Amino acid sequence: MLDQETTPAGCRVLIVEDEWLLAIDLQAALKSLGADVIAHVGDFNDAYVQLLRGGFDVGIIDINLRGHKAFGLADELQRQRIPFVFSTGYSAEIIPARFAGVTRWEKPYDPRKLARYVSQLHQT
């Protein structure tokens, strides 16, 4: 169960989301709880460059980025051992088995609840 007192204060977060308004809402929720959003990107290639640049503790990854599946980004996050969640409208069946341990937040979700969950990922 999510600890309501847990906050992502000090956590550096990368948001990979092509729905601009959703990304802005999520960024606002994270910042209101003390997280540092290092970037929010909505393009696969830009996201990959940001992944390689690093400087973040947790990733929030939309599975579909303008028609391009983001599983390659998830592979890179796993390779770097950076915790992440999927933020998606897709059902769990579309997610490859290699990501069985990755939490999936189904849209629409409450950005503040996801922001609080990020702190748990940061502490693992």
Q: What is the pLDDT of residue 61?
A: 97
Q: What is the pLDDT of residue 5?
A: 54
**Contact (Cβ atoms closer than 8 angstroms) between residue 51 and residue 58:** no
Per-10-residue mean pLDDT, the chain, length 124: 59 95 95 93 95 95 94 96 94 93 93 89 73
Domains of the chain are 12-123 (3.40.50.2300)
What is the rounded end-to-end Cα distance, in angstroms, of the chain?
15
Q: What is the CA radius of gyration of the chain?
A: 13
Report the C-alpha dihedral over residues 71, 89, 16, 109, rounded to 10 degrees: -140
Q: What is the pLDDT of residue 121?
A: 82
pTM metric for this prediction: 0.90
**Contact (Cβ atoms closer than 8 angstroms) between residue 49 and residue 38:** no
CA separation for the pair 90, 86 (Å, rounded): 10
Which region, left, alpha or beta, applies to residue 107 given φ > 0 means left and ψ of -120 to 50 means alpha?
beta
Q: What is the pLDDT of residue 4?
A: 47
Q: What is the pLDDT of residue 2?
A: 43
